[in-house]
Structure 1
Amino acid sequence: MTYEDPWYDAPASGWGERDGVGMPVPVVPSAREERSGPGARARDVYVEVQRSEAFQEVRSRYRRFVVPGVAVFLSWYVGYVIAATTAPGLMARPVAGAVNVGMLAGLGQFLSTFLLTWAYARHARLRRDRAALELRWDTQELARGAQGGAL
């Protein structure tokens, strides 16, 4: 019987202490040791899936959206903060009545946050969710087969 808890080899109370008769308590085998059997095959399934072309495509689609999105959003935010601290005259310039450039830029921060969230959800729905779901089902089927039909 194998115990597949990754935290099983973490120190616990009584670790390395003596038992009631003065003998050292047997060391608990590490859960991270390589074992043969169904557990090792199930782990191999996940490594195989991670190396697969389908998984790499899902990760690539994710990165192609997130990296530029984060770069644009952070530069917009840092630009707003720098403009607010170094150019107070620009930010105080009135646009319409009591509304000035700083207020519009601040509201633009909220608007851009909602816009980025919407764009991320749309991108995920259209370009990644279906492929990730198919990959998930394939992984579960492979893992179920590796464990002898019980998952």
Structure 2
Amino acid sequence: MTEQDQAATEQAPRHDPIYDRLAATPEFAELRRRYRSFVFPATAAFLAWYLLYVILSNWAGGFMDTRVVGHINVALIFGLLQFVTTFGLAWMYARYSQQKLDPLARQLDADYRKGEEA
């Protein structure tokens, strides 16, 4: 890389300056707050639920081997509930996003596009 190329690279903006203006707005901060208020608790809850399943599978074999109906035991039910929980969280996030995140994101996108045109 020549000295001129290096100087040009150092002076080039990392991203569009319009983004910096939008990132400083209260609307952008609100979008991030709303996103985090769903994602962090949902992730923590799901990980706790998953770790409970793993811990019980490893150290509570007698409980997990308890038959519920026929050959279906507690471990199988817990395992299937992991899938149910995953789909449930995806559905809840989609609803939350449509109601709380998407309208604000559309507004910010419109502001970005206005700034692009200017």
TM superposition shift of 1:45? 2.1
Which aligned pairs between 1:48-87 and structure 2 lie closer than 5 A? 48-87=21-60
TM-score, scaled relative to structure 1: 0.72
Q: Secondary structure at the match of 1:27?
A: helix
Unaligned ranges ≥5, structure 1: 1-14, 17-25, 146-151
Displacement of 1:142: 1.2
More helix by share: 2
Equivalent residue for 2:11, pick from 33, 41, 47: 33
Aligned pair 1:130/2:108, yes or no? no
CA RMSD of aligned residues (A): 1.7
Unaligned runs of 5+ in 2: none
Give the aligned length: 116
1:86 shift after superposition: 0.4
Cα separation, 1, equivalents of 2:16 and 2:65 = 60
Tell me how far apart the structure 2 counterparts of residues 92 and 85 of structure 1 sit (CA, whole Å). 11
Match status 1:141 vs 2:118: no
Cα distance change of structure 1 residues 112 and 95 upon mapping to structure 2, 3 Å threshold: same
For the pair 1:94 / 2:67, whether they are aligned, the reply is yes
Greater RCO between the two (CA within 8 Å, min separation 6)? 2
- TM-score w.r.t. the length of structure 2 is 0.90
